[in-house]
Structure 1
């Protein structure tokens, strides 16, 4: 099975626990990691969030690493740029070319940025991997977050999974036709064809989504599921 964050959020060990507590924990760690400029605190947030995800929620290590893979790539490149191209302070290492080198300040700011960003992603990972989107939206609506923000978030969340599924399908189809194994030019052409098709499919899907909403009497507001975990009953809808 491919990595599916929505499936993990619905099947982990604490998926049915109080969403208010999970949102509070996640946002507390997120905001404190942004405010506190301390590497040790950021590392502590990463460790605590990882323990909650792996040991408490019982999310597999493989899925957790997949969740962090893309953020790690962007964070690594950003911190690498800060490390070599931020010439302030005394030089620790100087390449002698175009001012490229490592200074005391660039080393400090790159390490601080790396751990801070990963602490924030770990905090968000706890929320994303343990709490279904319906519960998150219910919490946001209950604290009077604007309805338009919640509705756009739900639609974007749904569109992301459709986009990922179509991308994977087209990539597998191209691989089966040796679209990436012959020459670099063929791989580049396959990559461009895939993204041009994705653009067209995105327009078609957006039109289909709008027609679906209109056919269900959409008036500009989506009802949000209100979880009732105290007794067995039908789901309640709140406007």
Structure 2
């Protein structure tokens, strides 16, 4: 389910997660620090190419996952671009309401575009990591980086129980649909309320049974996972430097063009 299914199919699956994590982190930090439209779009394009060329995944997979945050980014950036201004403010487009102008200024448009492109570039970096690195491998990499073990185990448990909630909600919804629980607005709202109230109760019971099963198998407060055999992935290190140099080069060119 989710990105894990594609991560296990990726050609980078057997590559050590540390070089992939380094590439993602460096590209992400540079993209956020540059605060540039061109750098954000270039980062998104480069990560999409890497997912396709190195990971071997179809471009439609990357584009399909990109639709999810795209809706939130569009709505969020529109609220930044559109605002209330005094009547004498130079605006690109506006509607007079109550003695003030509700519209878009050049500064607001540029700010919204920067945030939108920067966020898209950051999302592209995270998708490169998620579509090429299973969560289990990522947790092992975090342990090797001496991230507190409690935090790593909480991340793993929270991620796994997302699918417990998903499965529980799906089963309840199928049962409701088989009884015509979503015919009509009133019945749909009632069924949705019942689903919301029951899903967490059943998931909590299932989690309690899983914890009991762990204790019966000698659980002492930490999850022990066997380390997989990885390829070193040294080729990603010069690629990291190349991507960073490209980002900084685009940023400098943009600054020179503006100046």
Normalised by the shorter chain, which TM-score bucket? 0.7 to 0.9
CA distance in 2, matches of 1:222, 1:87: 56
CA distance in 2, matches of 1:171, 1:62: 29
CA distance in 1, matches of 2:176, 2:61: 26
Q: Describe the shift of the 1:31–1:175 C-alpha distance in structure 2 as closer, same or farther (beyond 3 A).
A: farther
Any gaps of 5 or more consecutive residues in structure 2?
232-259
The offset of 1:80, in angstroms, is 1.6
Say which SS state the counterpart of residue 14 (structure 2) adopts: coil
The offset of 1:178, in angstroms, is 4.1
Q: Describe the shift of the 1:215–1:23 C-alpha distance in structure 2 as closer, same or farther (beyond 3 A).
A: same
CA distance in 1, matches of 2:165, 2:16: 30
Whether the aligned pair in 1 keeps the contact of 2:6 and 2:132 (CA below 8 Å) is yes
Say which SS state the counterpart of residue 96 (structure 2) adopts: coil
Higher RCO by CA contacts (8 Å cutoff, separation 6 or greater): 2
Q: CA RMSD in A?
A: 2.2
Q: What pairs with 1:51-200 in structure 2 (closer than 5 Å)?
A: 51-85=49-83, 87=85, 90-97=90-97, 99-180=101-182, 182-200=183-201
The offset of 1:123, in angstroms, is 0.6
Q: What is residue 244 of structure 2 aligned with on the other side? A: none
> Which of 18, 35, 47 is matched with 2:33 structurally?
35
Whether the aligned pair in 2 keeps the contact of 1:135 and 1:225 (CA below 8 Å) is no
The offset of 1:140, in angstroms, is 0.9
Say which SS state the counterpart of residue 58 (structure 1) adopts: coil
The offset of 1:108, in angstroms, is 1.4
CA distance in 1, matches of 2:131, 2:72: 20
Q: Describe the shift of the 1:226–1:113 C-alpha distance in structure 2 as closer, same or farther (beyond 3 A).
A: same
Whether the aligned pair in 2 keeps the contact of 1:82 and 1:106 (CA below 8 Å) is yes
When the two structures are superposed, what TM-score results if normalisation uses the length of structure 1?
Answer: 0.85
Whether the aligned pair in 1 keeps the contact of 2:35 and 2:115 (CA below 8 Å) is no
State the structure with more CA Rg.
2
Q: Describe the shift of the 1:171–1:142 C-alpha distance in structure 2 as closer, same or farther (beyond 3 A).
A: same
Any gaps of 5 or more consecutive residues in structure 1?
231-239
Q: What is residue 228 of structure 2 aligned with on the other side? A: 227
Number of equivalenced pairs: 227
